[in-house]
């Protein structure tokens, strides 16, 4: 099991997008930080959701703790070393800190389903994003990509 986590850790490069400011998303792609915004709009309700805030949501223990928990909860995929992984995970951190509306977009349906399930298995309350001190619904973007060989 440790080898599987080690393999996944080596295979995936995980940048975490976060913006600061106080604007709401528009009806189209709000920025290049959300490459699938129009697709995500059709899969989840984005009413009152922001993509920029004064403070972004925080996972208990920070980003490293989130990554560790996420990879512990994701099922091991039968990924060939030369197979390219390009899945983007989107979810909303609600005003109360709970994660809702998880969706994954990618070229491989198996990877997308595993990415969604991995996040749904984490039952932790986040510190919500805020604008002017008030909690807001925030759209998070978590890309899972592998290096191209």
| 125-149: pLDDT as tens digits | 999 999 999 999 999 988 887 655 4
How far apart are alpha carbons 4 and 89 in whole angstroms?
21
Looking at residue 137, what is its pLDDT? 95
Is 23 a residue whose pLDDT tops 60? no
Looking at residue 133, what is its pLDDT? 93
* Residue ranges of domains in the chain: 2-146
Q: Is-contact 33 19, C-beta < 8 A?
A: yes
How far apart are alpha carbons 149 and 133 in whole angstroms?
45
Mean pLDDT for 89-95 is 93
Alpha-carbon distances, residue 57 vs 75, 91, 147 (angstroms): 25, 11, 28
In the DSSP assignment, the letter for residue 53 is B
126: Cβ–Cβ under 8 A, 6 or more apart, which residues?
A: 57, 58, 59, 60, 93, 97, 98, 99
Rounded to two decimals, the pTM is 0.71
């Amino acid at each position: 099991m440790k080898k599987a986590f080690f393999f996944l850790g080596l295979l995936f490069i995980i940048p975490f997008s976060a913006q600061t400011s106080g604007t709401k998303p528009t009806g189209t792609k709000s920025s290049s930080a959300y490459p699938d915004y129009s697709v995500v709009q059709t899969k989840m309700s984005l009413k009152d959701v922001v993509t920029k805030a004064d403070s972004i949501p925080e996972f208990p223990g920070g980003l490293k703790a989130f990554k560790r928990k996420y990879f512990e909860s994701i099922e091991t995929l039968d990924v060939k070393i030369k197979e390219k992984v390009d899945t983007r995970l989107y979810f909303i951190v609600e005003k109360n800190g709970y994660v809702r509306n998880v969706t994954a977009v990618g070229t491989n349906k198996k990877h997308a389903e595993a990415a969604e399930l991995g996040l749904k298995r984490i039952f932790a309350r986040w510190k919500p994003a805020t604008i002017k001190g008030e909690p807001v619904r925030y759209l998070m973007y978590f890309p899972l990509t592998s290096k191209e060989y």
